[in-house]
Amino acid sequence: MIKDVNIINTEILSDNWYTLKKITYEYLTKDGIRQTQEREAYDRGNGAVILLYNKQQQTVILTRQFRLPTYINGNSSGLLIEACAGLLDTDNPEDCIKRETEEETGYQVTEVCKVFEAYMSPGSVTEILYFFIAAYSKEMKIHEGGGLDHEQENIEVLELSIDQAMKMVANGEIKDAKTIMLLQYVKLNQIL
């Protein structure tokens, strides 16, 4: 267990889209040895993610969109199937996810349930992601969704049965960690 951490130096390597910092720090290990190390940390802010579900229909709402990092790491189409998500910006997690749900999926939800929060890539990214679920119905659909033009979003909205979504996890069609976590959550907790 780390008993003491001391930041020695922080250097900004990039402040283009988000902030990449090189941090030199020292800490006291459990056996009393003071070590100095350097690490890079990417600060993109915190985010929220939601899985919309319909208990009667046994369906979920997911999205599909192009993700450049997956493309350059071997995803030949670059398309990724995901739960609706977004950065908090200045909002609290609940307000953020309600806004993102409407922008991306076209569904207007008023009641959301926070299920947990998690660091998604703690070795290099500072982000905490807040996970939500919410029931949806056809009556909540107020527009087609698809994201915002000024954010260059081109999002396809998918309505899938929970069984189909779980098969897509098993066969590798769904590879997004946050989505897999939420799908497993609704199955493990017998929500669907």
At residue 3 the predicted structure's pLDDT band, cuts being 50, 70 and 90, is low
pLDDT value of position 151: 65
pLDDT in the model for residue 145: 81
Nearest to residue 95, comparing CAs of 134, 146, 45, 48? 48
Quick one: tokens of 96? 């953020």
What is residue 62's predicted lDDT score, i.e. its pLDDT?
98
Q: What is the pLDDT of residue 148?
A: 62
Query: How do the domains of the chain map onto residue ranges?
Result: 4-43, 47-188
Encode pLDDT of 103-141 as tens digits: 999 999 999 999 999 999 999 999 999 999 999 999 999
Q: Please name the amino acid found at residue 126.
A: T
d(CA 145, CA 51): 15
pTM for the model stands at: 0.91
Percentage of the chain beyond pLDDT 70 is 96
CA distances from 112 to 6, 8, 124, 140, 146 (A): 39, 41, 29, 13, 20
Maximum distance among all alpha carbons in the chain?
61
**β-pair partners for 40:** 22
Cα–Cα distance, 69 to 114 (Å, whole number): 28
| CA distances (Å), origin 3, targets 23, 26, 28 | 18, 11, 6
Is the per-residue pLDDT at 146 higher than 80?
no
pLDDT at 152: 57
Rounded-to-integer distance, Cα 148 and Cα 151, Å? 5
pLDDT above 80 for 149 = no
- pLDDT, one tens digit per residue, over 65-106 is 999 999 999 999 999 999 999 999 889 999 999 999 999 999
| Model pLDDT, residue 1 | 44
Q: Are 96 and 84 in contact (CB under 8 A)?
A: no
**What confidence tier does 154 reach under pLDDT thresholds 50, 70, 90?**
confident
Question: Which amino acid, residue 140?
Answer: M
In CATH terms, the fold of domain 47-188 is Nucleoside Triphosphate Pyrophosphohydrolase (3.90.79)
Give 111 or 30, the one with higher predicted confidence.
111
Cβ atoms < 10 Å from Cβ of 155: 21
